[in-house]
Amino acid sequence: MAKFSKIEVLAAMASTGMVPVFYNKDVEIAKQVVKACYEGGVRAFEFTNRGDFAQEVFAELVKYAATACPEMILGAGSIVDAGTASLYIQLGANFIVGPLFNPDIAKVCNRRLIPYTPGCGSVSEIGFAQEAGCDLCKIFPAGNVGGPSFVKNMKAPMPWSMLMVTGAVEPTEENLSAWVKAGVTCVGMGSKLFPKEMIAAGNWQGITELCKSALAIIAKYRG
């Protein structure tokens, strides 16, 4: 069961400014990645529902993080239907993320006071999601729907919007500074934060350093 309140979850995402997005079918690799991110300063982590028995890996991660990374807030991503959202909430997900907006998922999450961050590709979608109680909306795929300029221009008439961008996000100063300046609440970062060669080599310290660097860049341009 979720052990962090909705306010705590949203605050962690907003204060750190980055949510790693990761999936691996090997639970031991997933544990090492979560730990590496935690040591790099990450406090909200999205495990994506992208493979067979992904829920079983997630269940083990939740138990592991409870003792090894007690301040880490774990959520489930790539969720497209209410049934799957319910399953992950039951396994301990503290937030739910999806590539699309499904009002049925919003109902499930609202009932349990679990943040639901749906994928939105237009201003109208963001508006509909906000009406359904989604505090933080995900711009996805962020690079394809307009990049940082989309965020900046959309927030002009809707400045209250809390936005996470996923897709076309990289752990570089040039990339992250553009998103931060545009006004994002946080970024979701996947493959660029977890280079295949680092995972294959078990270079967990390398992932920790990438996290530290990315978080430092975000903090610099917010300041």
**Tens-level pLDDT at each residue, the chain (223 residues):** 568 999 999 999 999 999 999 999 999 999 999 999 999 999 999 999 999 999 999 999 999 999 999 999 999 999 999 999 999 999 999 999 999 999 999 999 999 999 999 999 999 999 999 999 999 999 999 999 999 999 999 999 999 999 999 999 999 999 999 999 999 999 999 999 999 999 999 999 999 999 999 999 999 999 7
Tokens of 137: 């909306």
**How many structural domains is the chain composed of?**
1
- The verdict on residue 149 lying in a domain is yes
**In which region does residue 2 sit, left (phi positive, over 0), alpha (psi from -120 to 50) or beta (all else)?**
beta
Q: How many angstroms separate the Cα of 203 from the Cα of each of 40, 89, 133, 194, 195?
A: 13, 31, 40, 10, 10
Question: Is residue 160 one of the residues assigned to a domain?
Answer: yes
22 within a domain of the structure (yes/no): yes
Greatest Cα-to-Cα distance within the chain, rounded to the nearest angstrom:
47
Instruction: Report if residue 165 sits inside a domain.
Output: yes
Q: Is residue 1 part of a domain?
A: no
CATH number at residue 98: 3.20.20.70
Is 140 part of any domain? yes
Does some domain include residue 158?
A: yes
Give the integer Cα–Cα distance in Å for 119 and 212.
Answer: 26
Query: In terms of residue numbers, what domain contains 38?
Result: 6-216
Q: With residue 44 as reference, give the H or E element that holds it.
A: strand 44-48
| Cα–Cα separations (whole angstroms), residue 116 to 110, 164, 165 | 8, 12, 14
Distance of alpha carbon 216 from alpha carbon 222, whole angstroms: 10
Does residue 163 belong to any structural domain of this protein? yes
Structure tokens at 205: 């310290």
